[in-house]
């Protein structure tokens, strides 16, 4: 069973994503900000990270940069959750080999993206 770290500060979204992924058979751990995401990624060694771009304490992009620079977390795929599909940051995300899902997203879209990403790295 693959473990997925969900880093999202909005409780309703975090709960929906967690419920959806658990229903699909994944183990899920949660972080509410970028700093917590880094600590949990190091502690839990997830197969995938779903991370909101805009969070308190440390943004998703800042957290991803730190995760990418650490040998023990650099290989974990990251999918950003964002409400901005035209944000200039999106180009940077794609150019660095990461992916994203725009909010609002469907449950089917989320589970398909997770499944495809995990299949690509296993």
> Three-state secondary structure along 1-25?
CCEEEEECCCHHHHHHHHHHHHHCC
| Strand partners for 78 | 49
Split into its structural domains, the chain has a count of: 1
Residue 63 is predicted with a pLDDT of 94
Would you state the pLDDT for residue 12? 95
pTM for this prediction: 0.92
Residue 114 has pLDDT above 60, yes or no: yes
Q: What is the CATH classification number for the domain harbouring 12? A: 3.40.50.2300
- Where in the sequence is the domain holding 70, given as residue range(s)? 3-121
| Residue partners of 118: CB distance under 8 A and separation at least 6 | 2, 47, 48, 77
């Amino acid at each position: 069973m693959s473990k997925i770290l969900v880093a999202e500060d909005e409780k309703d979204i975090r709960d929906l994503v967690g419920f959806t992924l658990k229903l699909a058979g994944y183990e899920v751990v949660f972080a509410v900000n970028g700093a917590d995401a880094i600590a949990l990624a190091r502690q839990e060694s997830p197969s995938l990270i779903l991370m909101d771009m805009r969070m308190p304490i440390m943004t998703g992009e800042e957290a991803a940069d730190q995760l990418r620079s650490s040998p023990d977390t650099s290989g974990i795929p990251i999918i950003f959750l964002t409400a901005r599909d035209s944000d200039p940051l999106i180009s940077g995300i794609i150019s660095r080999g990461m992916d994203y899902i725009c909010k609002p997203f469907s449950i089917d879209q989320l589970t398909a993206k997770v499944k495809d990403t995990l299949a690509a790295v296993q």
